[in-house]
Amino acid sequence: MSELQNHFKSNHLHHAYLLIGESKIITAELLGLLQSIFPATVDPKFHPDVLWLTKDRLDKDDARFLRQFQTGKDFAGQGRYLVVIFSAMASEAQEVLLKTLEEPATNTYFFLVAPTAEFFRPTILSRVYQLKFDRSNDGEVDDLEKFLGLDVAERGEHLLKRFLDDGQIKDRAELLDWLDRLEVFIHERIDLTRISDNLVLVFKEIVNAKKLLNNQRSSAKMILEYLALIVPNLRKTK
């Protein structure tokens, strides 16, 4: 998040940011940024010039509320800050958000926190400053290596147990974040020349899976079982 902090310190904050990655990490950094802006506030999430909204899926009414908040007068003279954490967005909400970004209020700053940029319209992406975070660490790498080394049946069982509860997704943002890391891991950590699987299909299906998982009517169980079947087995690289 150093780039974002540098923007603030140099008085060059962009009107709208799209912050891609694990929400827990990003929101912790945003709290630090807001604390710098409002140092006298114990918890900046509750400052009157801050809107902190967490939703699984952003709908049209949510987007309208954002638009209404950003037009209000700031109390502290430091601007208004909207932090919106979500993992899916309705088509109607994108229309409202696009209009808001096209007609920004003065001294107002958006921080859209999402696990992926896949579900955003290109017109929205063209109006935000994107920052994507590499969350990989040794523990996460070990976890991905272990997953890719499992048999197909074990993979499916692992995914269903980890991400689903009674057929429903436990934490959509966490699941999408994990799929992002899986895609990057396959790209960067595996010797692709030694794997016989059709990797073009694999990457395409991971992208498709992330899109489908943003639709609450899709069967998460079927999607995860299919991914368990098609991703390359790490032992094939030996």
Judge if 205 and 89 occupy the same domain. Answer: no
Q: What is the largest CA-CA distance in the chain?
A: 62
What's the pLDDT tens digit per position in 43-62? 899 999 999 999 988 999 99
Q: What is the pLDDT of residue 41?
A: 82
Judge if 10 and 51 occupy the same domain. Answer: yes
Judge if 147 and 88 occupy the same domain. Answer: no
Mean pLDDT of the region 72-95 = 92
- Report residue 90 as tokens: 């309705």
d(CA 93, CA 63): 5
Q: Which long-range contacts (CB under 8 A, 24 or more apart) does 140-147 make?
A: 140/181, 141/185, 141/189, 144/181, 144/182, 144/185, 144/189, 145/189, 145/234, 147/182
Which residues are bridge partners to 131 per DSSP? 19
Range of the domain at 222: 138-237
pLDDT at residue 142 greater than cutoff 50 = yes
Judge if 94 and 166 occupy the same domain. Answer: no
Mean pLDDT of the region 150-165 = 93
Judge if 126 and 142 occupy the same domain. Answer: no
d(CA 60, CA 20): 22
pLDDT classification of 238: cutoffs 50, 70, 90: very low
Q: What is the pLDDT of residue 95?
A: 96
CATH number, position 57: 3.40.50.300
Judge if 9 and 121 occupy the same domain. Answer: yes
Domain boundary among 63, 97, 132: 132
Which of these, 109, 111, 238, 132, lies nearest to 181 by C-alpha position?
Answer: 132
d(CA 208, CA 176): 12
Judge if 158 and 112 occupy the same domain. Answer: no
Domain boundary among 132, 154, 170: 132
pLDDT at residue 17 greater than cutoff 70 = yes
pLDDT classification of 84: cutoffs 50, 70, 90: very high
Judge if 199 and 177 occupy the same domain. Answer: yes
Structurally, the chain folds into a number of domains equal to: 2
82: phi then psi, degrees, rounded to nearest 5: -115, 115
Distances (CA, A) of 34 to 4, 39, 224: 11, 8, 37
Domain boundary among 102, 132, 162: 132
Judge if 113 and 148 occupy the same domain. Answer: no
d(CA 60, CA 193): 46
Judge if 87 and 182 occupy the same domain. Answer: no
Mean pLDDT of the region 176-205 = 70
Judge if 40 and 120 occupy the same domain. Answer: yes
- Percentage of the chain surpassing pLDDT 90? 44
Judge if 70 and 162 occupy the same domain. Answer: no
